Amino acid sequence: MEESIVKVEHLSHRYSVQWAIRDINFEITKNGIYGLLGSNGAGKSTTMNIMCGVLKQTEGDVYIKGISISKNPVEAKRHIGFLPQVPPLHPDLTVEEYLEYCAELRHIPDREVKKAIEAVMIRCGISHFAKRVIHNLSGGYQQRVGIAQAIIHNPELVIFDEPTNGLDPNQIVEIRHLIKEIAEERTVILSTHILPEVQATCDYIRMIEQGNMVFSGTVEEFDNYIQPNTLVVSLGAAPLVADIQELPGVVRVEELGGPRFRIQFSDVKEAMNSIVEASYTRDWQLMELQQEKSSLDTIFAELSKK
């Protein structure tokens, strides 16, 4: 049986009288990028802060490599790297000075500090800024320094809270690429409320909404959570909308411009067969016929109701 990298058991936390999360359960046994998805205020940050030992839970427990975060926090934290939404940087230190400080916090032996700093600067692409004062770096490079401090002690688990928040499009692409590289060797949990971020970066999804776990599975399973009910059709000799509308199995037709149509169906097999047959008999010149996937926004909205 595979050892759990992370195991969350019956996790609940209450602020005053209001429960922020309630009976959260999930387990991670292999490397990859796990998206912790949910709208703002859903309970993601509370869950993450408990997992990292920043916040003490009201009920339940979290185990990192089998070690209880509540009973043995120091030992459990040796296996965790954490980048909060606002990187915990010291802006008046150089990159090298800051990473030396982080290495000391992580109890890296003195003889190994220099090697650890060099390795993490190379991995994060910041070696050429080693002597640069942090507040003189761009937002993207400050984020890279934040990632460097999270992995300097080579943890098995790295947790990122909204790692691309506030970055420009080019910086977002670079940070996504870096996170994927990091995940080749360890487990990454990435918290976000941005759906495209999950689709572009993650392999698996754990979704929390209103303090409850509402989905746990792969990105592909998430994409297919709602059975779509539309087809996209391209016809070389485009007919009138009314001609398509009257076909068996077709509920509604939407023009997408040019020869393309979105067709809502009541029965996918019946609709597809009738479109193919009509295209042949009426010479509509069928060029494309495919079933659409439900949008991430649609799935997110549906899961949020659970």
**Predicted pLDDT of residue 4:** 87
**Predicted pLDDT of residue 224:** 72
Q: Are 143 and 171 in contact (CB under 8 A)?
A: yes
pLDDT in tens, 89-129: 999 999 999 999 999 999 999 999 999 999 999 999 999 99
Q: Are 192 and 36 in contact (CB under 8 A)?
A: yes
Task: State which residues of the chain have pLDDT below 50.
Answer: none
Token reading at 36? 């912790």
6-223 and 230-294: identical CATH topology: no
Q: Quickly list DSSP for 222-233.
A: HHTSS---EEEE
In sequence order, what are the residues at sequence separation of 6 or more whose Cβ sits closer than 8 angstroms to the Cβ of residue 169?
A: none
DSSP 3-state of 45: helix
Query: In the CATH scheme, what is the code of domain 6-223?
Result: 3.40.50.300
Angstrom distance (rounded) from CA 281 to CA 233: 16
Token reading at 6? 């992370």
C-alpha pair distances (Å), 108 with each of 69, 99, 115: 21, 11, 10
**Residues present in the chain in total:** 306
Q: Where are the domains of the chain?
A: 6-223, 230-294
Q: Are 306 and 214 in contact (CB under 8 A)?
A: yes
Buried b (16+ CB within 10 A) or exposed e, 72-107: eeeebbebbbbbbeebebeeebbbbbbbbebbeebe
**Predicted pLDDT of residue 96:** 97
Strands 157-161 and 187-192, by their bridges, are: parallel
pTM (predicted TM-score): 0.76
The DSSP element (H or E) to which 199 belongs, if any, is helix 195-201
Angstrom distance (rounded) from CA 185 to CA 173: 20
Query: In the CATH scheme, what is the code of domain 230-294?
Result: 3.30.70
